[in-house]
């Protein structure tokens, strides 16, 4: 019953668009449910593993008893007690503490409680660490550090990503040129990690020619005006960003160049050339657009991947980010902070994957419409 | 009868650079196509047919070593045009093409209607509505429902995609359409219906076609003239009737004998041997090694000998004073 001519003359994309939108919504909902289940399972597994399936409770019982005995014995108010009375007091206090921490309940019951709280981002209190503002909540300890990490790694990644994609695109047009060969030759330099370059950069630009700060995020005391503060943060960011940029840019250009070379010999690209389309349109619509899904994927996965690489680099540059935090937490054996970082990481990962799924669907009609 | 041909090609050469040396894929071709004429270029795989098509539209791969010759389109030498002029004035507006492996010739993430209308939008600067209306027209011409304008390539079957690619080639009303193996990946029924579409377009619009194929049977449907290629060169060019009924060149004869026919008594013949290596084609006649009527002069390179009206054969047998079979 469809009038074909109406489509052609009336609203040319109207119907195609509604159909796409409807499928997109269905697709999004399905993915959202699947991802929620994934996080649930992931976080629960983290809880089980971090608590060694409940074995950590025994250690904590021992620790509580030890701590309580220590306090009671050290307190002069209880010095004249008989040992029986004192043991009773210790037992009472231990029971109280055990009840407070609900260690008397079976672990499996509590694990679901932990799960619920973790899912609600109620990460509990740190055992020893506190945030720069003095808060003991793990959530605040982590959230306070998040912007520093995001700022540094976000900047470096955006730079590496966009520079490499555009350089690669232009290199793929000049296959075999001296510039192309130089980039290929430089690619192996990326074998060294960012912090390795960082050490040399600090040596040169902070000590041999002292023009840039060797570490930290802002000078002490921090500048008053927000403009001067921003300028100072940028000054502190120069070296770590340069270190990351140096360590990734060449391999990144190299791999994108190969990627674009492969995709610019697709039949439809040749067809587009034969059709007399100008080369910038071919690049945009026939090379970049069909390959946007893998490009976006690698971009977001690179963002996630740097989380783990951040520990050493942040240490080298004394950057107050999540890497430094995790390093300190491991040093202090502050389990809630470690678990909290993992939970937040899981959330970020899931969020990224979700974003990717949606982007895939928007970018690639083969996924959006798919075989029903 | 001496009107200027629509397309006239003189001494066209295309050589590729490869790791083992220079490949002479197209080595000195000369032919012409009249208006409203269908020239079928026949040849085995690897004889340079597709390279010929690419050279005419100047979509050359990265490893081109040498490309020369004259291509006159309606009296102007289009090989002499600079890249930008060629793109703006010739590509698709005057010469369009249906590529080999058209299954992959459509951008997977752009709706087919957009892709078909694209040349008009870009080259003629038409607005969207007008271009889409025209796209709907050519869709009907090639026999696809206009519903498919909004579809993506992967939602279409192979035959449908082939028709879309054909529609794309016709949308600018080009004077010449080059079809590079347009039906070789399709089933017989679809092949037949596409050939019928081509015939109708030729009749109704006066379009010229250059059909490149290895499929003798299908090509005979539409051919006005036939050019047979062997190892980068033309070996025979003649009218379709003469070629299919009385092939002249020994290779043409063997080729025609190898086409299976219905209720044929003897088994279809095959041509012994392999086509020569295009890296180092043999001196003299390139077919000599496989030729049953080989004789002394075949060690020299034959030229195209005229044999009747618009018929030429590259074989010493047809030279003045040559040995007639």
Tell me the percentage of chain A whose pLDDT exceeds 90: 18
> Of A330 and A117, which is predicted with more confidence?
A117
For the ranges A8-12, A250-254, B293-297, B300-304, which has the lowest average pLDDT? A8-12
Per-10-residue mean pLDDT of chain B, 325 residues long, equals 80 90 89 93 87 89 87 89 90 89 82 93 93 93 89 88 91 92 82 89 92 88 92 91 90 86 75 83 87 87 85 86 50
Q: Which tokens in the block code for residue A54?
A: 């409940």
Instruction: Judge residue A165's burial from the number of C-beta atoms within 10 Å of its C-beta, 0-12 exposed, 13-18 middle, 19 or more buried.
Output: buried
Q: Tell me what the pLDDT averaged over chain A comes to.
A: 83
Most confident region among A122-126, A133-137, A227-231 by mean pLDDT: A227-231
A230 φ/ψ angles, rounded to the nearest 5 degrees? -60, -45
Residue among A15, A281, A366 whose CB faces B154 most closely: A366
Q: What is the mean pLDDT of residues A243-258?
A: 92
The number of C-beta contacts closer than 8 angstroms across A and B is 108
Q: Are B23 and B279 in contact (CB under 8 A)?
A: yes
Task: Note whether B108 contacts A290, CB cutoff 8 Å.
Answer: yes
Scanning A174-291, the segments in alpha helix (DSSP H) are 178-186, 194-202, 226-263, 267-274, 279-281
**For residue B56, which residues of chain A lie inside 8 Å, CB to CB?**
none
Q: Which residue has the tokens 């070379």?
A: A261
pLDDT at A372: 47
How far is A219 from A235, CA to CA, in rounded Å?
10
- In the CATH scheme, what is the homologous superfamily, with its name and number, of domain A148-363? MetI-like (1.10.3720.10)
CA distance B285 to chain A (A): 34
Chain B CB within 8 Å of residue A290 CB: yes
The tens digit of pLDDT for each residue in A339-357 reads 788 778 777 788 888 888 7
Q: How many other C-beta atoms are found inside a 10 Å radius of the C-beta of residue B284?
A: 16
- The answer, yes or no, to whether residue A11 has pLDDT greater than 50, is no
Q: What distance lies between CA B27 and its chain's CA centroid?
A: 16
pLDDT at A143: 84
The tens digit of pLDDT for each residue in A182-227 reads 998 999 988 888 889 999 999 999 999 888 888 888 888 888 888 9
pLDDT at B33: 93
The tens digit of pLDDT for each residue in A63-77 reads 888 888 888 888 888
The tens digit of pLDDT for each residue in A52-62 reads 777 777 887 88
Residue among A275, A281, A285 whose CB faces B91 most closely: A275
pLDDT at B257: 85
Task: Note whether B119 contacts A276, CB cutoff 8 Å.
Answer: yes
Residues 143-162 of B with CB under 8 A from A: 145-147, 149-152, 154-155
- The answer, yes or no, to whether residue A5 has pLDDT greater than 60, is no
Q: What is the mean pLDDT of residues A367-371?
A: 66
Per-residue pLDDT band for A7 (boundaries 50, 70, 90) equals very low
pLDDT at B116: 93
Residue among B102, B119, B132 whose CB faces A275 most closely: B119
pLDDT at A13: 53
- The answer, yes or no, to whether residue A254 has pLDDT greater than 90, is yes
How far is A261 from A268, CA to CA, in rounded Å?
14
Per-residue pLDDT band for A308 (boundaries 50, 70, 90) equals low
Closest CA to A352 of A298, A308, A288: A298
Q: Are B298 and B316 in contact (CB under 8 A)?
A: yes
- The answer, yes or no, to whether residue A15 has pLDDT greater than 70, is no
How far is B158 from B171, CA to CA, in rounded Å?
20
**For residue B152, which residues of chain A lie inside 8 Å, CB to CB?**
365-366, 369
Q: What is the DSSP letter of A76?
A: G
For chain A, what is the radius of gyration of the CA atoms?
Answer: 28
Chain A CB within 8 Å of residue B177 CB: no
Most confident region among A78-82, A218-222, A227-231 by mean pLDDT: A227-231
Q: Is the pTM of this model over 0.80?
A: no
Closest CA to A179 of A235, A74, A257: A257
CATH 1.10.3720.10 residue ranges of chain A are 148-363
The tens digit of pLDDT for each residue in A148-169 reads 888 888 889 889 999 999 999 8
pLDDT at A309: 53
Q: Are B207 and B195 in contact (CB under 8 A)?
A: no
**For residue A270, which residues of chain B lie inside 8 Å, CB to CB?**
59, 99
Instruction: Show the 3-state SS of A3-72.
Output: CHHHHHHCCCCHHHHHHHHHHHHHHHHHHHHHHHHHHHHHHHHHHHHHCHHHHHHHHHHHHHHHHHHHHH
- The answer, yes or no, to whether residue A2 has pLDDT greater than 50, is no
| Interface predicted TM-score of the whole assembly (ipTM), two decimals | 0.84
How far is A330 from A340, CA to CA, in rounded Å?
12
pLDDT at A100: 81
**For residue B104, which residues of chain A lie inside 8 Å, CB to CB?**
266-268
pLDDT at A370: 62
Chain A CB within 8 Å of residue B304 CB: no
């Amino acid at each position: 019953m469809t009038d074909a001519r109406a489509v052609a003359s009336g609203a040319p994309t109207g119907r195609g668009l509604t159909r796409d939108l409807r499928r997109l919504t269905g697709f999004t909902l399905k993915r959202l449910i699947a991802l929620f289940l994934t996080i649930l399972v992931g976080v629960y597994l983290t809880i089980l593993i971090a608590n060694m399936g409940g074995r950590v409770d025994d250690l904590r019982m021992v620790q509580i008893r030890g701590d309580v005995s220590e306090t009671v014995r050290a307190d002069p108010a209880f010095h004249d007690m008989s040992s029986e009375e004192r043991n009773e007091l210790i037992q009472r206090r231990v029971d109280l503490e055990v009840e407070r921490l609900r260690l008397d309940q079976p672990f499996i019951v509590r694990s679901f409680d932990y799960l619920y709280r973790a899912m609600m981002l109620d990460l509990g209190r740190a055992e020893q660490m506190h945030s720069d503002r003095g808060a003991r909540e793990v959530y605040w300890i982590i959230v306070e550090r998040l912007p520093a990490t995001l700022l540094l790694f976000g900047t470096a990644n955006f730079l590496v990503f966009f520079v490499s994609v555009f350089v690669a695109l232009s290199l793929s047009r000049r296959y075999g040129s001296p510039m192309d060969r130089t980039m290929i030759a430089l690619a192996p330099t990326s074998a060294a990690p960012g912090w390795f370059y960082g050490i040399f950069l600090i040596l040169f630009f902070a000590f041999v020619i002292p023009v840039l700060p060797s570490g930290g995020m802002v000078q002490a005391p921090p500048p008053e005006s927000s403009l001067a503060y921003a300028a100072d943060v940028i000054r502190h960011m120069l070296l770590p960003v340069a270190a990351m940029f140096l360590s990734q840019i060449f391999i990144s250009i190299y791999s994108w160049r190969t990627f674009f070379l492969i995709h610019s010999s697709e039949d439809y690209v040749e067809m587009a050339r034969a059709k007399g389309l100008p080369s910038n349109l071919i690049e945009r619509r026939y090379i970049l657009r069909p390959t946007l899904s893998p490009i976006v994927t690698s971009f977001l996965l690179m963002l996630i991947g740097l989380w783990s690489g951040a520990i050493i680099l942040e240490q080298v540059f004394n950057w107050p980010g999540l890497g430094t935090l995790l390093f300190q937490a491991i040093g202090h054996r502050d389990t809630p902070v470690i678990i909290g970082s993992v939970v937040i990481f899981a959330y970020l990962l899931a969020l990224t994957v979700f974003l990717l799924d949606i982007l895939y669907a928007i970018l690639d009609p083969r996924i959006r419409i798919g075989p029903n | 009868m001496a009107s200027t041909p629509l397309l006239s090609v003189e001494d066209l050469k295309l050589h590729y650079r490869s790791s083992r040396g220079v490949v002479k894929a197209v080595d000195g071709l000369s032919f012409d196509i009249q208006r409203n004429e269908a020239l079928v270029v026949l040849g085995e795989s690897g004889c340079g047919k597709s390279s010929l098509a690419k050279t005419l539209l100047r979509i050359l791969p990265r490893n081109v070593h040498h490309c020369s010759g004259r291509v006159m389109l309606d009296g102007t030498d289009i090989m002499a045009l600079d890249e930008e002029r060629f793109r703006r004035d010739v590509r698709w507006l005057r010469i369009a093409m249906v590529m080999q492996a058209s299954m992959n010739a459509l951008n997977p993430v752009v709706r087919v209607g957009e892709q078909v209308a694209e040349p008009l939008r870009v080259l003629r600067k038409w607005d969207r509505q007008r271009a889409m209306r025209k796209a709907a027209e050519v869709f009907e011409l090639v026999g696809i429902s206009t519903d498919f304008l909004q579809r993506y390539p992967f939602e279409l079957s192979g035959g449908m995609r082939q028709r879309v690619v054909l529609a794309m080639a016709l949308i600018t009303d080009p004077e010449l359409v080059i079809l590079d193996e347009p039906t070789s990946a399709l089933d017989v029924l679809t092949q037949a219906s596409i050939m019928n579409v081509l015939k109708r377009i030729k009749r109704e619009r006066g379009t010229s076609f250059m059909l490149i194929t290895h499929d003798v049977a299908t090509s005979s449907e539409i051919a006005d003239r036939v050019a047979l290629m062997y190892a980068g060169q033309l070996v025979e060019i003649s009218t379709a009737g003469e070629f299919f009924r009385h092939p002249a060149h020994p290779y043409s004869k063997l080729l025609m004998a190898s086409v299976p026919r219905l209720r044929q008594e003897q088994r279809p013949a095959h041509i012994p041997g392999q086509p020569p290596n295009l890296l180092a084609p043999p001196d003299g006649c390139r077919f000599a090694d496989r030729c049953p009527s080989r004789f002394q002069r075949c060690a020299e390179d034959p030229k195209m000998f005229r044999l009747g009206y618009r018929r030429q054969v590259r074989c010493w047998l047809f030279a003045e004073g040559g040995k007639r079979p």
